Chains A and B, each alone.
Chain A
Amino acid sequence: MQDQTQNSGLLASITPFARVVVGGLFTFAAYVKLSEPQNFLESVMAFKIFSGKPLPDHLATLATFALPWIELICGVLMVLGLWARSAALVLAGLLVMFIVALVLVLQLPGPIECGCFGKFEVPCGAIVGPCHVVRNSVLLGLTALVLFAGPGKWSVDACRACKKP
Protein backbone atom coordinates (compact mmCIF):
# COMPACT_ATOMS: atom_id res chain seq x y z
CA MET A 1 0.00 0.00 0.00
CA GLN A 2 1.53 3.29 -1.08
CA ASP A 3 1.46 6.38 1.02
CA GLN A 4 -0.76 8.95 -0.69
CA THR A 5 -1.01 12.59 0.28
CA GLN A 6 -3.99 13.42 -1.94
CA ASN A 7 -7.48 11.90 -2.08
CA SER A 8 -10.37 12.56 -4.33
CA GLY A 9 -14.06 12.93 -3.61
CA LEU A 10 -15.65 13.63 -0.26
CA LEU A 11 -12.57 12.95 1.83
CA ALA A 12 -10.56 15.46 -0.16
CA SER A 13 -13.11 18.11 0.72
CA ILE A 14 -13.47 17.21 4.39
CA THR A 15 -9.88 16.60 5.43
CA PRO A 16 -8.66 20.19 4.84
CA PHE A 17 -11.63 21.43 6.88
CA ALA A 18 -10.88 18.94 9.68
CA ARG A 19 -7.21 19.88 9.57
CA VAL A 20 -7.86 23.61 9.88
CA VAL A 21 -10.56 23.24 12.57
CA VAL A 22 -8.48 20.96 14.77
CA GLY A 23 -5.27 22.89 14.15
CA GLY A 24 -6.92 26.23 14.77
CA LEU A 25 -8.57 25.08 18.01
CA PHE A 26 -5.36 23.65 19.40
CA THR A 27 -3.37 26.74 18.41
CA PHE A 28 -5.90 28.94 20.21
CA ALA A 29 -5.98 26.66 23.27
CA ALA A 30 -2.18 26.71 23.45
CA TYR A 31 -2.10 30.51 23.21
CA VAL A 32 -4.60 30.83 26.09
CA LYS A 33 -2.62 28.43 28.28
CA LEU A 34 0.77 29.98 27.52
CA SER A 35 -0.51 33.50 28.18
CA GLU A 36 -1.71 32.52 31.69
CA PRO A 37 0.44 29.60 32.87
CA GLN A 38 -0.50 30.07 36.55
CA ASN A 39 -4.19 29.47 35.73
CA PHE A 40 -3.38 26.38 33.69
CA LEU A 41 -1.12 25.04 36.44
CA GLU A 42 -4.02 25.32 38.90
CA SER A 43 -6.24 23.38 36.49
CA VAL A 44 -3.55 20.69 36.13
CA MET A 45 -3.24 20.45 39.94
CA ALA A 46 -7.02 20.07 40.24
CA PHE A 47 -6.96 16.88 38.15
CA LYS A 48 -6.45 14.56 41.10
CA ILE A 49 -6.77 11.34 39.15
CA PHE A 50 -3.87 9.48 40.77
CA SER A 51 -5.56 7.94 43.81
CA GLY A 52 -7.08 11.28 44.66
CA LYS A 53 -3.73 13.06 44.45
CA PRO A 54 -2.50 15.55 41.87
CA LEU A 55 0.59 15.10 39.73
CA PRO A 56 3.93 15.45 41.55
CA ASP A 57 5.06 19.08 41.58
CA HIS A 58 7.80 18.78 38.96
CA LEU A 59 5.56 16.84 36.57
CA ALA A 60 2.72 19.30 37.07
CA THR A 61 5.06 22.19 36.25
CA LEU A 62 6.45 20.41 33.18
CA ALA A 63 2.97 19.52 31.96
CA THR A 64 1.89 23.14 32.43
CA PHE A 65 4.47 24.33 29.90
CA ALA A 66 5.21 21.32 27.69
CA LEU A 67 1.58 20.46 26.83
CA PRO A 68 0.72 23.92 25.44
CA TRP A 69 3.94 24.05 23.39
CA ILE A 70 3.21 20.63 21.90
CA GLU A 71 -0.36 21.78 21.15
CA LEU A 72 0.94 24.98 19.55
CA ILE A 73 3.48 23.24 17.33
CA CYS A 74 0.99 20.58 16.25
CA GLY A 75 -1.78 23.12 15.76
CA VAL A 76 0.34 25.27 13.44
CA LEU A 77 1.56 22.23 11.50
CA MET A 78 -2.04 21.04 11.07
CA VAL A 79 -3.23 24.41 9.82
CA LEU A 80 -0.38 24.60 7.33
CA GLY A 81 -0.74 20.96 6.36
CA LEU A 82 2.97 20.42 6.97
CA TRP A 83 3.90 17.05 8.51
CA ALA A 84 0.18 16.88 9.13
CA ARG A 85 0.09 13.16 9.85
CA SER A 86 2.79 13.45 12.51
CA ALA A 87 0.99 16.36 14.10
CA ALA A 88 -2.33 14.50 13.89
CA LEU A 89 -0.80 11.46 15.57
CA VAL A 90 0.48 13.57 18.48
CA LEU A 91 -2.83 15.41 18.82
CA ALA A 92 -4.74 12.13 18.70
CA GLY A 93 -2.55 10.85 21.54
CA LEU A 94 -3.18 14.02 23.54
CA LEU A 95 -6.93 13.80 22.95
CA VAL A 96 -7.06 10.19 24.10
CA MET A 97 -5.16 11.21 27.23
CA PHE A 98 -7.51 14.18 27.83
CA ILE A 99 -10.62 12.02 27.36
CA VAL A 100 -9.35 9.43 29.85
CA ALA A 101 -8.45 12.19 32.35
CA LEU A 102 -11.86 13.85 31.94
CA VAL A 103 -13.69 10.58 32.48
CA LEU A 104 -11.66 9.95 35.66
CA VAL A 105 -12.26 13.51 36.89
CA LEU A 106 -16.01 13.07 36.41
CA GLN A 107 -15.86 10.37 39.09
CA LEU A 108 -14.40 12.83 41.61
CA PRO A 109 -16.62 14.83 43.94
CA GLY A 110 -16.88 18.57 43.58
CA PRO A 111 -16.67 20.85 40.53
CA ILE A 112 -13.33 20.89 38.71
CA GLU A 113 -12.33 23.38 36.04
CA CYS A 114 -11.21 22.02 32.69
CA GLY A 115 -8.68 24.76 31.94
CA CYS A 116 -8.81 23.71 28.27
CA PHE A 117 -9.56 27.12 26.81
CA GLY A 118 -9.15 29.38 29.86
CA LYS A 119 -11.86 32.05 29.94
CA PHE A 120 -13.16 30.98 26.51
CA GLU A 121 -14.72 27.65 27.47
CA VAL A 122 -17.45 27.35 24.86
CA PRO A 123 -19.72 25.61 24.36
CA CYS A 124 -19.14 23.41 27.40
CA GLY A 125 -18.41 25.88 30.21
CA ALA A 126 -15.56 25.91 32.70
CA ILE A 127 -16.62 22.99 34.92
CA VAL A 128 -15.77 19.52 33.62
CA GLY A 129 -18.82 17.61 32.43
CA PRO A 130 -19.90 15.06 29.79
CA CYS A 131 -19.92 17.88 27.21
CA HIS A 132 -16.12 18.06 27.43
CA VAL A 133 -15.82 14.34 26.76
CA VAL A 134 -18.12 14.62 23.73
CA ARG A 135 -16.26 17.67 22.44
CA ASN A 136 -12.88 15.96 22.68
CA SER A 137 -14.27 12.81 21.07
CA VAL A 138 -15.46 14.83 18.07
CA LEU A 139 -12.02 16.43 17.82
CA LEU A 140 -10.45 12.97 18.04
CA GLY A 141 -12.61 11.82 15.14
CA LEU A 142 -11.55 14.78 12.99
CA THR A 143 -7.89 14.23 13.94
CA ALA A 144 -8.10 10.54 13.08
CA LEU A 145 -9.53 11.52 9.70
CA VAL A 146 -6.45 13.61 8.97
CA LEU A 147 -4.17 10.88 10.29
CA PHE A 148 -5.58 8.14 8.06
CA ALA A 149 -6.77 10.12 5.02
CA GLY A 150 -3.90 12.58 4.86
CA PRO A 151 -3.86 16.37 4.94
CA GLY A 152 -5.82 16.71 1.70
CA LYS A 153 -5.48 19.54 -0.75
CA TRP A 154 -4.37 23.09 0.13
CA SER A 155 -1.60 21.76 2.30
CA VAL A 156 2.18 22.10 2.23
CA ASP A 157 2.49 18.32 2.20
CA ALA A 158 0.31 18.13 -0.92
CA CYS A 159 2.41 20.81 -2.64
CA ARG A 160 5.59 18.96 -1.82
CA ALA A 161 4.13 15.72 -3.19
CA CYS A 162 3.11 17.48 -6.41
CA LYS A 163 6.62 18.82 -6.95
CA LYS A 164 8.24 15.39 -6.68
CA PRO A 165 9.14 13.94 -10.09
Chain B
Amino acid sequence: MSCCSVGCGGLWKAVVGGCAIAFVGIAIGSVHSWMTPVVLRPDVKKIEPTILHGAGQVGTQTPSNPDPTKPATPVDSGVKPVNTHDASKVTPPPEPASTGVALGFEIKSEQAKLLFDMGVPFIDARESQFFAQGHVERAMNMTADQVIPNAAELVRYRPGPIVVYCSGGDCDASHHVATRLQTLGFTQIHIMIDGYPGWKDKSFPVVEQK
Protein backbone atom coordinates (compact mmCIF):
# COMPACT_ATOMS: atom_id res chain seq x y z
CA MET B 1 0.00 0.00 0.00
CA SER B 2 1.30 3.42 -0.86
CA CYS B 3 1.96 5.64 2.13
CA CYS B 4 1.09 8.71 0.12
CA SER B 5 -2.54 8.79 -0.87
CA VAL B 6 -2.65 12.24 -2.39
CA GLY B 7 -2.38 12.22 -6.15
CA CYS B 8 -1.87 15.12 -8.53
CA GLY B 9 -5.60 15.74 -8.60
CA GLY B 10 -5.84 15.66 -4.84
CA LEU B 11 -2.89 17.99 -4.41
CA TRP B 12 -4.35 20.43 -6.92
CA LYS B 13 -7.66 20.41 -5.03
CA ALA B 14 -5.74 21.05 -1.79
CA VAL B 15 -3.95 24.03 -3.36
CA VAL B 16 -7.19 25.54 -4.67
CA GLY B 17 -8.90 24.95 -1.32
CA GLY B 18 -5.93 26.39 0.54
CA CYS B 19 -5.98 29.55 -1.58
CA ALA B 20 -9.69 29.92 -0.91
CA ILE B 21 -9.16 29.53 2.85
CA ALA B 22 -6.31 32.07 2.82
CA PHE B 23 -8.42 34.53 0.82
CA VAL B 24 -11.36 34.23 3.23
CA GLY B 25 -9.04 34.61 6.23
CA ILE B 26 -7.42 37.73 4.80
CA ALA B 27 -10.82 39.22 3.93
CA ILE B 28 -12.24 38.61 7.40
CA GLY B 29 -9.00 39.84 8.98
CA SER B 30 -9.11 43.05 6.94
CA VAL B 31 -12.67 43.78 8.06
CA HIS B 32 -11.75 42.95 11.66
CA SER B 33 -8.75 45.31 11.53
CA TRP B 34 -11.00 48.20 10.42
CA MET B 35 -13.40 47.52 13.27
CA THR B 36 -10.81 47.05 16.01
CA PRO B 37 -8.41 49.92 16.71
CA VAL B 38 -4.84 48.99 17.55
CA VAL B 39 -2.03 51.39 18.35
CA LEU B 40 1.31 50.81 16.65
CA ARG B 41 3.37 53.19 18.75
CA PRO B 42 2.90 56.01 21.27
CA ASP B 43 1.70 59.35 19.89
CA VAL B 44 4.82 61.40 20.54
CA LYS B 45 3.08 64.67 19.67
CA LYS B 46 0.92 64.27 22.76
CA ILE B 47 3.91 63.69 25.05
CA GLU B 48 4.71 66.71 27.20
CA PRO B 49 8.30 67.39 28.20
CA THR B 50 9.21 67.36 31.86
CA ILE B 51 10.91 70.54 33.02
CA LEU B 52 13.49 70.11 35.78
CA HIS B 53 13.86 73.27 37.81
CA GLY B 54 16.96 74.14 39.78
CA ALA B 55 15.77 73.12 43.26
CA GLY B 56 14.86 69.62 42.04
CA GLN B 57 11.23 70.46 41.43
CA VAL B 58 9.64 68.67 38.56
CA GLY B 59 7.20 70.57 36.48
CA THR B 60 5.46 70.44 33.18
CA GLN B 61 5.17 73.08 30.58
CA THR B 62 3.79 73.16 27.12
CA PRO B 63 6.39 75.16 25.25
CA SER B 64 5.38 77.13 22.20
CA ASN B 65 7.41 74.90 19.89
CA PRO B 66 8.07 71.57 21.64
CA ASP B 67 9.78 68.62 20.01
CA PRO B 68 9.54 65.70 22.41
CA THR B 69 11.40 63.46 20.01
CA LYS B 70 14.64 65.33 20.54
CA PRO B 71 16.83 64.62 23.58
CA ALA B 72 16.94 67.09 26.43
CA THR B 73 18.25 70.50 25.51
CA PRO B 74 19.31 72.56 28.49
CA VAL B 75 17.32 75.75 28.53
CA ASP B 76 19.57 76.93 31.30
CA SER B 77 22.54 75.06 32.74
CA GLY B 78 21.49 75.76 36.29
CA VAL B 79 20.94 72.08 37.13
CA LYS B 80 24.11 70.04 37.63
CA PRO B 81 24.29 66.23 37.59
CA VAL B 82 24.27 64.52 40.96
CA ASN B 83 27.18 62.22 41.86
CA THR B 84 25.70 59.24 43.64
CA HIS B 85 29.02 57.87 44.84
CA ASP B 86 30.17 60.67 47.09
CA ALA B 87 27.58 62.96 48.60
CA SER B 88 30.25 65.45 49.65
CA LYS B 89 30.88 66.19 45.99
CA VAL B 90 27.28 67.08 45.30
CA THR B 91 27.05 70.70 44.28
CA PRO B 92 23.69 72.18 45.13
CA PRO B 93 22.34 73.67 41.94
CA PRO B 94 21.63 77.37 41.87
CA GLU B 95 18.05 78.57 41.64
CA PRO B 96 17.32 79.64 38.13
CA ALA B 97 14.73 82.32 37.78
CA SER B 98 12.25 80.72 35.42
CA THR B 99 14.17 78.15 33.34
CA GLY B 100 15.14 74.48 33.69
CA VAL B 101 16.17 71.37 31.81
CA ALA B 102 13.50 70.06 29.45
CA LEU B 103 13.42 66.26 29.19
CA GLY B 104 11.77 64.87 26.09
CA PHE B 105 10.25 61.48 25.24
CA GLU B 106 13.52 59.60 24.78
CA ILE B 107 16.20 60.27 27.37
CA LYS B 108 19.51 58.81 28.35
CA SER B 109 20.27 57.22 31.69
CA GLU B 110 22.08 60.34 32.95
CA GLN B 111 18.88 62.35 32.44
CA ALA B 112 16.76 59.55 33.89
CA LYS B 113 18.95 59.69 36.98
CA LEU B 114 17.81 63.28 37.57
CA LEU B 115 14.22 62.05 37.62
CA PHE B 116 15.18 59.06 39.77
CA ASP B 117 16.64 61.39 42.40
CA MET B 118 13.35 63.25 42.51
CA GLY B 119 11.35 60.12 43.20
CA VAL B 120 9.81 59.77 39.75
CA PRO B 121 8.45 56.20 39.31
CA PHE B 122 10.32 53.81 37.00
CA ILE B 123 8.78 50.90 35.11
CA ASP B 124 10.88 47.95 33.97
CA ALA B 125 9.17 46.62 30.83
CA ARG B 126 11.21 43.40 30.57
CA GLU B 127 10.01 39.90 31.34
CA SER B 128 10.05 38.94 35.02
CA GLN B 129 13.09 36.64 34.77
CA PHE B 130 15.24 39.54 33.51
CA PHE B 131 13.82 41.90 36.13
CA ALA B 132 14.71 39.40 38.85
CA GLN B 133 18.31 39.22 37.63
CA GLY B 134 18.73 42.94 38.12
CA HIS B 135 16.75 46.16 37.84
CA VAL B 136 16.78 49.84 38.66
CA GLU B 137 16.22 50.40 42.37
CA ARG B 138 12.54 51.07 43.17
CA ALA B 139 11.45 50.10 39.62
CA MET B 140 8.14 48.32 39.08
CA ASN B 141 8.12 45.33 36.76
CA MET B 142 5.33 45.61 34.23
CA THR B 143 5.15 44.28 30.68
CA ALA B 144 2.79 45.92 28.20
CA ASP B 145 -0.03 43.43 28.75
CA GLN B 146 0.11 44.07 32.50
CA VAL B 147 -0.35 47.84 32.31
CA ILE B 148 -4.13 47.98 31.88
CA PRO B 149 -4.84 45.33 34.54
CA ASN B 150 -2.68 47.37 36.96
CA ALA B 151 -4.23 50.70 35.99
CA ALA B 152 -5.53 51.36 39.50
CA GLU B 153 -1.98 51.19 40.89
CA LEU B 154 -0.54 53.35 38.11
CA VAL B 155 -3.02 56.20 37.90
CA ARG B 156 -1.98 57.50 41.32
CA TYR B 157 1.26 58.62 39.66
CA ARG B 158 -0.64 60.87 37.27
CA PRO B 159 -0.28 63.62 36.21
CA GLY B 160 3.45 63.53 36.97
CA PRO B 161 6.28 62.08 34.89
CA ILE B 162 7.09 58.40 34.61
CA VAL B 163 10.16 56.64 33.20
CA VAL B 164 10.02 53.34 31.30
CA TYR B 165 12.99 51.22 30.29
CA CYS B 166 13.85 47.79 28.98
CA SER B 167 17.04 46.27 27.55
CA GLY B 168 18.19 49.23 25.45
CA GLY B 169 19.22 48.91 21.81
CA ASP B 170 16.37 47.62 19.63
CA CYS B 171 14.16 46.68 22.56
CA ASP B 172 10.60 47.91 21.95
CA ALA B 173 9.04 46.71 25.16
CA SER B 174 9.35 50.14 26.80
CA HIS B 175 7.59 51.78 23.84
CA HIS B 176 4.74 49.28 24.10
CA VAL B 177 4.34 50.07 27.79
CA ALA B 178 4.40 53.78 26.91
CA THR B 179 1.59 53.20 24.41
CA ARG B 180 -0.56 51.65 27.14
CA LEU B 181 0.34 54.40 29.62
CA GLN B 182 -0.82 56.96 27.12
CA THR B 183 -4.23 55.30 26.99
CA LEU B 184 -4.37 55.70 30.77
CA GLY B 185 -3.87 59.44 30.43
CA PHE B 186 -0.16 59.79 31.14
CA THR B 187 1.36 62.70 29.22
CA GLN B 188 4.86 62.93 30.68
CA ILE B 189 6.31 59.60 29.61
CA HIS B 190 10.05 59.13 29.21
CA ILE B 191 11.81 56.19 27.61
CA MET B 192 15.30 55.51 28.93
CA ILE B 193 16.73 54.47 25.57
CA ASP B 194 19.98 52.92 26.79
CA GLY B 195 17.92 50.70 29.07
CA TYR B 196 19.04 48.75 32.12
CA PRO B 197 22.51 48.04 30.65
CA GLY B 198 23.16 51.77 30.23
CA TRP B 199 21.94 52.49 33.77
CA LYS B 200 24.05 49.72 35.27
CA ASP B 201 27.16 50.72 33.30
CA LYS B 202 27.06 54.13 34.96
CA SER B 203 26.87 52.49 38.39
CA PHE B 204 23.50 54.03 39.17
CA PRO B 205 21.41 52.39 41.94
CA VAL B 206 20.35 48.84 41.06
CA VAL B 207 18.95 45.79 42.82
CA GLU B 208 20.62 42.59 41.66
CA GLN B 209 19.99 38.91 42.27
CA LYS B 210 22.61 37.44 44.60
Of residues 142 to 194 in B, which have CB atoms within 8 Å of A's CB atoms?
144-145, 167, 169-172, 176
Inter-subunit contact B7/A85 (CB<8 Å): no
Q: What 1/0 flags go to B22-40 for Cβ under 8 Å of A?
A: 1011101110110010111
Known: A62-B33, A74-B21, A111-B127. A85 touches B10 (CB 8 A): yes
Using CB atoms, name the residue of chain B closest to A45: B172
- How far, in Å, is B114 (CB) from chain A's closest CB? 26
Inter-subunit contact A148/B38 (CB<8 Å): no
Of residues 46 to 68 in A, which have CB atoms within 8 Å of B's CB atoms?
46, 48, 52, 57, 60-62, 64-68
The interface on chain B, measured as residues whose beta carbon lies within 8 A of the other chain's beta carbons, has a size of: 42
Known: A8-B1, A86-B13, A149-B3. A1 touches B8 (CB 8 A): yes
Inter-subunit contact B36/A42 (CB<8 Å): no
**A98 at the A/B interface (Cβ < 8 Å)?**
no
The interface on chain A, measured as residues whose beta carbon lies within 8 A of the other chain's beta carbons, has a size of: 56
**B15 at the A/B interface (Cβ < 8 Å)?**
yes
Inter-subunit contact B38/A1 (CB<8 Å): no
Using CB atoms, name the residue of chain A closest to B7: A1
Contact of B17 among A67, A70, A85, A93 (CB under 8 A): A85
Main secondary structure on chain A at its contact with chain B? helix
Of residues 39 to 62 in B, which have CB atoms within 8 Å of A's CB atoms?
39-40
Inter-subunit contact A90/B21 (CB<8 Å): yes
Inter-subunit contact B145/A119 (CB<8 Å): yes
Q: With a CB–CB cut-off of 8 A, which chain B residues contact A11?
A: 3
Give Cα A42 to B173, complex, Å. Answer: 8
Inter-subunit contact B21/A65 (CB<8 Å): no
**A17 at the A/B interface (Cβ < 8 Å)?**
no
Q: What 1/0 flags go to A87-105 for Cβ under 8 Å of B?
A: 1111001000000000000
21 A–B contacts, CB within 8 A, in A order: A1-B7, A1-B8, A3-B5, A42-B172, A61-B33, A62-B26, A62-B29, A66-B33, A69-B26, A70-B21, A70-B29, A77-B21, A85-B6, A85-B13, A89-B18, A90-B21, A109-B169, A110-B167, A111-B127, A148-B4, A148-B6
- A residues with CB within 8 A of B: 1-5, 7-9, 11, 34, 36-39, 41-42, 45-46, 48, 52, 57, 60-62, 64-74, 77, 83, 85-90, 93, 108-111, 113, 119, 126-127, 147-150
